[in-house]
A and B are shown apart, each in its own frame.
Chain A
Amino acid sequence: MNKLPRYYEFFNHTKIISGYKALENIPYELELLRSFRPMIITDKGVKKAGLVNTVINACGDSDLVFPVVFDNVPQDSSTKVVSQAAKLYREKRCDSIIAIGGGSVIDTAKGTNILVSYNSDDLRKFMGADIIKRPLNPFIAIPTTAGTGSEVTIAAVIRDEEKGIKMPFTSKYLLPNVAVLDPRMTITLPPHISAATAMDALTHAIESYICLQKNPLSDAYATAAIRLISNYILKVIEKKPSKEARLAMANAATMAGIAFSNSMVGMVHSLGHALGGVARIPHGVAMNIFLPWGLKENFSVRKEIIGELLLPFSGAEKYSNTPPEKRATEFIREIRKLQDILYEKVKMPRTLQEADVDKELLPDIAKNAINDGSLIVNPIDLDYEDALRILKQAYFNSVEI
């Protein structure tokens, strides 16, 4: 049974506005924040897809002025790009930020907001936890991928180009003031991307539920997210997914984001970050490959908790028809079933081999994985040999249970 943790913390202050004509409320929300000159931060893909125009048009007939659209954000946010954005913000006398995009766009916006609010040029000074000690400038996030959950997390990761390391920033002040979930924003996602981002969101929810920092509030968000994802994931990868399905996935990603912002993620992310860094495998695909392994490895200490997830994932009937001691394995089996369908429909890789990862890279990936901070709250610890063993197993096979 679920016990209250001896001690926990939970924080989320982002106002979430979701659904039909949500974008149209941006001028009103900005007025509440006393802002009228928002800088738009986005990337080329989002702009090309016309999403920036959708946002600007939705804000018509208001007092808003958009002094500049910064669309230079690359795949991985970096200090250089953040500095560029901050410089433009000051030149154009902006008073707030609207981020339109995925994780790296929103992280770039968070970094930019630190610099412009503190009137600084050096992000390094703010690296780490709780270094930012006062509210930043007004900031609205509009996610376009339904995956990362960055619109509701207290963290940002930005690459230090000089040192070649990833700088983590965590502060409650990095949370956007408002997150806008509008089905128009995920309309252009191709099915295989929808599938990958959905698996990322699912992994956030599952890892936040089984890792050491779990708490009753993060659990509530996590299970709600899992329920939505399991109901809508196959609908959202159809050729023309319905508005309902897209909005449901955007909501699920946000809920999973709130969950893991407060209870962290574990070894699936450690392995996934390493795989992304070394072999350039997209984050969601990496999550899909390692999720069953994360569940299997944590089985020995988290069996009961993993078993509880069968209820939100497969529904009450399946849950009550499965004996308690079999629920954890059944849950993993259900995840595997979903993965087979995703493979069949959008060719989402289930093994490292299916993802075309070079076998020579495995030792490097293992070394990076055990140095990834996500490992700290994973129920079991991994050493180098463990990580390498899992990678070798994940190379050819999916989990056998």
Chain B
Amino acid sequence: MAKIYSKEIRPKPKRFKKVVLTVMFFVLGRAFVFTNKFDSSVKKEISEWPEGYKIIFYTAYHGPSMGLIKRNNRIIRAKIPLDNADLSIIFKNVDSAFLMMTAQMGIPVAFAEHRFILKGESHLAMSLIRCLNVVQTYLFPRIIAKRLIRKLPKIPWYRRYFYRLRIYLLTVPLGI
């Protein structure tokens, strides 16, 4: 009888993509928190969320994640367990999250392609998307932002340039 040597095969972890994702979540989180401080449209959106509202961006399975919570009328970054969030944005896998977090895919397309699912109280999802549109407009040059966002928020170019520089030089590295 032929012998079958079998060994369980475990697909390799995608380490590089996970590292990039961790960095990008960090960048997005800090940029979001900072944008909330100076941009009036984001301030207005956040002011309508209930105090203590918890959002998590999570990568299945056990991948990088980012938590946001509203405290004292401001968004701050926080560690939030998946089950504890009011709204969870769950990427189905590392590659889906990678595509979106590296600005290769905008939110509407990612949604249409089922790259993530929403769990929980999604009635603030559209407000969150509007905030992310603004954050992304500050973060990325117009040529990239235009591919990600259907309708760019009206922000004058000098404001975009100034805050982009400010975000990459101070907010991301120092959190201020």
Q: Which residue of A lies closest to B154 (CB)?
A: A383
Q: Closest CB-CB distance, A217 to chain B, in whole Å?
A: 14
Neighbouring A residues of B119 by C-beta, 8 Å:
127-131
CB within 8 Å of B: which of A361-375? 370-373, 375
Q: Which residue of A lies closest to B117 (CB)?
A: A129
Neighbouring B residues of A375 by C-beta, 8 Å:
126
In the A-B complex, the 5 residue pairs with the closest CB atoms? A128-B119, A129-B117, A381-B150, A213-B112, A381-B151
Neighbouring B residues of A264 by C-beta, 8 Å:
112
User: Complex formed: what's the CA distance from A6 to B113 in Å?
Assistant: 8
User: Complex formed: what's the CA distance from A260 to B97 in Å?
Assistant: 25
Neighbouring B residues of A372 by C-beta, 8 Å:
126
Q: Is the CB of B121 within 8 A of A373?
A: no
Interface of B is mostly: helix
B residues contacting A by CB (< 8 A) are: 88, 107-109, 111-114, 117-127, 129-130, 149-151
Task: Given the known inter-chain contacts A168-B122, A370-B126, A371-B126, please indicate yes or no for A377 contacting B151, CB distance below 8 A.
Answer: no
- Counting contact residues on chain A (CB < 8 A from B), the size range is 20 to 34
Q: Is the CB of A373 within 8 A of B122?
A: yes
In this complex, the member of A165, A168, A264, A381 whose beta carbon has the largest number of chain B beta carbons within 10 angstroms is A381
Q: Closest CB-CB distance, A347 to chain B, in whole Å?
A: 34
Q: Closest CB-CB distance, B92 to chain A, in whole Å?
A: 9
Question: Which of the residues A128, A166, A212, A371 comes within 8 Å of B108, measured between beta carbons?
Answer: A212
Question: Which of the residues B121, B126, B127, B151 comes within 8 Å of A165, measured between beta carbons?
Answer: B121
User: Complex formed: what's the CA distance from A130 to B127 in Å?
Assistant: 22
Q: Which residue of B lies closest to A301 (CB)?
A: B150
- Extra inter-chain contacts (16) besides given A129-B117, A212-B109, A376-B111, CB under 8 Å: A9-B114, A128-B118, A128-B120, A129-B118, A129-B119, A130-B117, A131-B119, A211-B112, A213-B112, A370-B130, A371-B123, A376-B107, A376-B108, A376-B125, A377-B108, A382-B151
CB within 8 Å of B: which of A329-377? 370-373, 375-377
User: Complex formed: what's the CA distance from A127 to B117 in Å?
Assistant: 12
Task: Given the known inter-chain contacts A9-B114, A373-B126, please indicate yes or no for A380 contacting B120, CB distance below 8 A.
Answer: no
Neighbouring A residues of B150 by C-beta, 8 Å:
379-381
Task: Given the known inter-chain contacts A212-B109, A212-B112, A383-B151, please indicate yes or no for A376 contacting B117, CB distance below 8 A.
Answer: no
